[in-house]
Chains A and B, each alone.
Chain A
């Protein structure tokens, strides 16, 4: 399915861009807070909460690209000693299970977002539900990546990283 590969390569790159932008903003916000407090004796009270929202975005978008570009650490030395046929099905199982975890991220994220939509984040006034948005999007991305990796497995291909 070339269109899925094309889409995923783009999504994976974008996710990494978003994560990078959030990381850069995180740096700017925290340094701004230090400068304001140390230099001007006027600590902006919202820095902490903005930074927390940003870090969850860095983490979830970063983690989702990690799935496509095999960045997550796992134990594969045992599987490698098995016959190729068994190895193949183990790999299939890994992708299916990873996908299942991502689905739980989506569903659980939506449930939590609904449950916290009436709660406000102190010093920001934004809904608490916002915190779960990166989790839901990352879940969707990971599901897409797992599907692609599964298809590639059955076609005997390797998924090319969109970025090195």
Chain B
């Protein structure tokens, strides 16, 4: 009964168009009423869900991303990427992939990345002979790497959700997950996604003959020379340096991940005010205000997800799902396939923060029984969530990209399959090849990471 109320009310509210955070909150409250639980407990769980020390990194990473966005770092990265690969066939598409991946690392947020890169690249690409759909798809998909970068606030959310994880992986007792391990674990998959996206973007550009003018002529720019490449690279290095700072702080123990995020903000401020001299008072206030609003939206989602997590635990749903899946199969390959399929379906409805918090307690224990460690599972989960950001109907990154490119969601989705394929390959590599995500952090940290 309670379970029916929970599910039915959630789907109804969502379809009606109630914002996701309120839909989760209201369906939980309805279930609290059915169960006869005092509803202030729901509010308590919401507040305590938001009031987690490691979540302080979330406003900081968002703020630092906003500073980088309004401080014009994006233009410098675009200039570098363009001078490097802009003269090839489909060169702007390739430049966009490189730039989006790099800025993904700087901002740690696919949405910020798409608004930054899209704002600069999509109009240029449209002007210089690429279709809007191509420009939008390249930007949105390459931006997804932001979710796996060290500046990603989603990684912080996952590290928190997985902190109680315990089990035996390959004969080693594993407990919890360290944020430092996770940060390094994302780098190889990110690089791989970039390579896949480059291939997809190049292939599609060849197929459609981009860039081409109205009359069908090809319009490729000449190579600007290595001097320009070097100059634009030097100009964008200070921006990219923020990734290195975070990794350095966490690895060398200067600060915790939370404090590293605060240091990243301080660095972004100093950089845009004193080095780039692009930060005005208005831009600073705007960055602060936008970061506050985004923080509110994300933390409210985190809060209501904690309400839902409580409700699910109370109704013993995780045990039920675990039992059902273990009855369905004992084969690790199949089990991981099922988990990925469910994740993709959930990605349709849920936003990233809610998705991570709700599904980690459901699937991480199962994945660990199948020999997948918490770091590897985190990469799987983040990639699945990232895919949800670019597929309809609720894909916040796709929304932003289409709004900038002034095209409909349907138009973008029609030619998006090569990029979906690229992410699909990445998800499967991460799922079935542990070393893909665990090799680099094991090498760097000097202890085995699972």
Partners in one complex: yes
Which residues from chain A sit less than 8 Å from chain B, CB to CB? 16, 19-20, 22-24, 26-27, 30-31, 33-34, 38, 48, 51-52, 55-56, 58-66, 69, 71-79, 90-91, 93-94, 97-98, 100-101, 104-105, 107-109, 111-112, 115, 131-132, 135, 163
Residues from 56 to 97 in B contacting A, C-beta threshold 8 Å: 56, 59-60, 63
Q: Does B14 contact A (CB under 8 A)?
A: yes
- How long is the Cα–Cα vector from A89 to B254 in the complex, in angstroms? 55
How far does the alpha carbon of A138 sit from the alpha carbon of B26 in the complex, in Å?
Answer: 16
Q: List 16 A-B contacts (CB under 8 A).
A: A31-B259, A31-B263, A31-B266, A55-B50, A59-B303, A61-B292, A75-B349, A76-B17, A79-B16, A90-B16, A97-B22, A97-B26, A101-B29, A108-B43, A115-B40, A135-B47
Q: How distant is the Cα of A34 from the Cα of B255 in the complex, in angstroms?
A: 7
| A103–chain B nearest beta-carbon distance, Å | 10
B296 touches A66 (CB 8 A): yes
Q: In the complex, what residues of A have CB within 8 A of residue B349's CB? A: 75
Q: Does B258 contact A (CB under 8 A)?
A: yes
In the A-B complex, the 8 residue pairs with the smallest Cβ-Cβ separation, listed nearest first, are A62-B296, A108-B43, A63-B296, A72-B19, A59-B299, A19-B292, A111-B40, A74-B19
- For the complex, give the distance between the alpha carbons of A115 and B51 in Å: 18
A-contact 0/1 string along B22-48, CB 8 Å cutoff: 110110010000000011101110110
Contact of A52 with B51 in the complex, beta carbons under 8 Å: yes
Contact check, B263 vs A34: say whether CB atoms are below 8 A apart: yes
Contact present for A30 and B50 (CB under 8 Å): no
Mask of B258-288 contacts with A, CB within 8 angstroms, 1/0: 1100110110000000000000000001001
The answer to whether A75 and B393 touch across the interface, beta carbons within 8 angstroms, is: yes
* Chain B residue with the shortest CB-CB distance to A21: B288
From residue B416, how far is it (CB to closest CB) to chain A in Å?
16
Alpha-carbon gap, A64 to B295, bound state (A): 11
Q: Mark B230-242, 1 if CB is under 8 A from A, else 0.
A: 0000000000000
B397 to chain A, nearest CB (A): 11
Q: Is B366 an interface residue (CB 8 A)?
A: no
With a cutoff of 8 Å between Cβ atoms, the chain B residues found around residue A78 in the complex are 15, 17, 393
Number of contacting residues on B, CB 8 A?
58
**Further pairs besides A33-B259, A75-B17: 15, Cβ < 8 Å:** A31-B262, A34-B254, A34-B255, A64-B296, A72-B22, A72-B297, A73-B297, A74-B14, A79-B16, A93-B18, A94-B16, A97-B22, A104-B43, A107-B39, A135-B46
Q: Which of B46, B50, B259, B303 contacts A34 (CB 8 A)?
A: B259
Q: Which listed residue (B262, B297, B393) contacts A27, Cβ 8 A?
A: B262
Partner of B292, one of A58, A97, A108, A115: A58
Do the beta carbons of B392 and A101 come within 8 Å of each other? no
Partner of B394, one of A26, A75, A94: A75
B222 to chain A, nearest CB (A): 40
A109 close to B43 (CB less than 8 A)? yes
Nearest neighbor of B269 in chain A, beta-carbon distance: A27
Q: Does B20 reach chain A (CB closer than 8 Å)?
A: yes
Q: Would you call B293 and A65 a contact (CB within 8 A)?
A: yes
Chain B residues lying within 8 Å of A58, measured Cβ to Cβ, are 59, 292, 295-296, 299
For B25, the closest partner residue in chain A by CB is: A101
Check A135 against B43 for contact (C-beta < 8 Å).
yes
Do A55 and B288 contact each other (CB < 8 Å), given the known contacts A97-B22, A101-B22? no
B166 at the interface (CB under 8 A from A): no
Closest chain B residue, CB of each to CB of A76? B17
- Beta-carbon contact of B25 and A61 below 8 Å: no
- The answer to whether A30 touches B258 (Cβ under 8 A) is yes
Provide the bound-state CA to CA distance between A27 and B294, in Å: 16
Q: Does B21 contact A (CB under 8 A)?
A: yes
Bound Cα distance A75, B398 (Å) = 13
Given the contacts A19-B296, A23-B288, A65-B293, A91 and B17 also touching, CB distance less than 8 Å: yes
Tell me the residues in window 327-379 of chain B with beta carbons closer than 8 Å to chain A beta carbons.
349, 351
**Which residues of B have CB within 8 Å of A27?**
60, 63, 262, 265-266
* Complex contact B43–A112 (CB within 8 A): yes
Given contacts A23-B291, A34-B255, A97-B26, contact A74 B17 (CB under 8 A): yes
* A74 engages B51 (CB within 8 Å): no
Which residues of the partner chain A approach B293 to less than 8 Å between Cβ atoms?
Answer: 16, 19, 62, 65-66, 69, 71
From B20, B59, B299, A26 is in contact (CB under 8 Å) with B59
Residues of chain A within 8 A of B47, CB atoms compared = 56, 112, 131-132, 135
Residues from chain A with Cβ under 8 Å of B124 in the complex:
none
Q: Say if the beta carbon of B195 comes within 8 Å of chain A.
A: no
